[in-house]
Structure 1
Amino acid sequence: MSDKLAEIVSHKRQEIEPLIQRAEKLRYAALERNEFKSLASAINVGSDRLGLIAEVKKASPSAGIIAEDFDPVSQAKKYADAGASAISVLTDEKYFKGKLEYLTQIQHAVDVPVLRKDFIIH
């Protein structure tokens, strides 16, 4: 395992329990509202159109800060308005400067499926 990947796994092991608890609360809230949007339906748009998943992220471990004036909701709306089939949201705080709360904020702002992208270990 590379040094960077080992560092990421070590960090995630330290923060996994609170993340699992927060994710479970969000999952149950979504189940209660029955607000699931089908990713399969969103990206299976036929041969005349491309099913595109756009990514919302502030930074990356390799590139550093990508967007200084980062507004995840505004970015997601722009992607959805431009025709993205779904929005992928980076939620890792340490390496991608994301937040789990971005999922809820973006989900309420767009009418396409919203995916969580993070380093998830179990």
Structure 2
Amino acid sequence: MSTTSRFSEETRAVILARAGYCCELCGRSSRIWSGWSVHHRRPARMGGDRRPETRGAANGVLLCGSGVDGCHGWIESHPAEARGKGLILRRDEIPAEVVVELKRGAVLLDDRGGFELAA
């Protein structure tokens, strides 16, 4: 089993399609900006993570910017607020079970590229 925490190209494609090729926080189209990234809601430990949900689509959110600018930069510089919105998870949390606040509303993400509006 791979210990890498990186998203596979297939998973990245699922996340991009789910997002409609737009930043999932602000809605900015990835077709008009080159600086985008897939953010891990639950970060992997140094050296990787064997848990499959770490590499699943429910753990990834398409964002404009990098870890220092755009929406991705906002998450990294406002960790407490990002945690409150489900954008940063604790090590013991399962991404598919934690509501995340995105531009489309509060949702539960799944690993197939779908989402369900939270109650």
> Whose helix fraction is larger, Structure 1's or Structure 2's?
1
TM surpasses 0.5: no
Given the two structures, how large is their TM-score scaled by the length of structure 1? 0.27
**Could you say which structure has the larger radius of gyration?**
1
